[in-house]
Amino acid sequence: MPQQLGDNEISEYGVSQINEQDRDRLTRHVMRVGDIVFSRRGDVTRRAYITGKEDGWLCGTGCLLLRLNHPQCDNRYLVRFLGFHETRSYLTQHAIGATMPNLNQRILASVPVVLPPREHQERIIGVISAYDDLIENNRRRIQLLEQAARLLYKEWFVHLRFPGHEHVKIKDGVPEGWTSGVIGSLGEIVTGKTPSKKMVSYYGDDIPFIKTPDMHGNSVVTKTEENLSDEGASSQATKMLPPRS
pLDDT, tens digit, for every residue of 67-112?
Answer: 988 899 999 999 999 999 899 999 989 999 877 889 999 999 999 9
* 130 in the same domain as 45: no
Compute how many other C-beta atoms are within 10 angstroms of the C-beta atom of residue 204: 17
Mean pLDDT of 124-149: 91
Backbone φ and ψ for 204, nearest 5 degrees, come out as: -170, -135
Nearest to 224 by CA among 103, 53, 43, 99: 43
**Alpha helices, H only, 29-117:** 75-81, 85-94, 105-109
pLDDT in tens, 189-215: 888 888 887 888 888 878 888 888 787
pLDDT in tens, 115-127: 999 999 999 999 9
Percent of the chain scored above 90 by pLDDT? 31
Report the sign of the C-alpha dihedral through residues 42, 43, 45, 48, in that order.
negative
Q: Which residue range forms the structural domain that includes residue 157?
A: 123-180
The pLDDT, as a whole number, for residue 1 is 56
Contacts of 202 (CB under 8 A, 6+ apart): 195, 196, 228, 229, 231, 232, 235
Where is average pLDDT lowest: 16-20, 103-107, 172-176, 234-238? 16-20
Average pLDDT over residues 33-58: 89
Cβ atoms < 10 Å from Cβ of 63:
22
194 part of a folded domain: no
Q: How distant, in Å, are the alpha carbons of 154, 173, 235 from that of 178?
A: 17, 10, 41
In this structure, are 110 and 20 located in the same domain?
Answer: yes
Looking at the predicted structure, is the pLDDT value of residue 180 above 90? no
Is 189 inside a domain boundary?
no
Say whether both 15 and 88 belong to one domain: yes
Q: How many residues does the chain have?
A: 245
Same domain (yes/no): 167, 143: yes
* Average pLDDT in the chain: 86
| pTM as predicted | 0.62
pLDDT of residue 200: 83
> Are 206 and 109 part of one and the same domain?
no
Of residues 207, 213, 241, 209, the one with CA closest to residue 226: 209
Res 90: pLDDT:
92
Task: Give the pLDDT of residue 121.
Answer: 94
For the chain, what is the domain count?
3
Tell me what pLDDT residue 216 has.
75
Is 28 inside any structural domain?
yes
Measured CA to CA, the distance from residue 107 to residue 94 in angstroms comes to: 7
- How much is the average pLDDT of 18-33? 79
For residue 2, the tally of other CB atoms under 10 A from its CB is 19
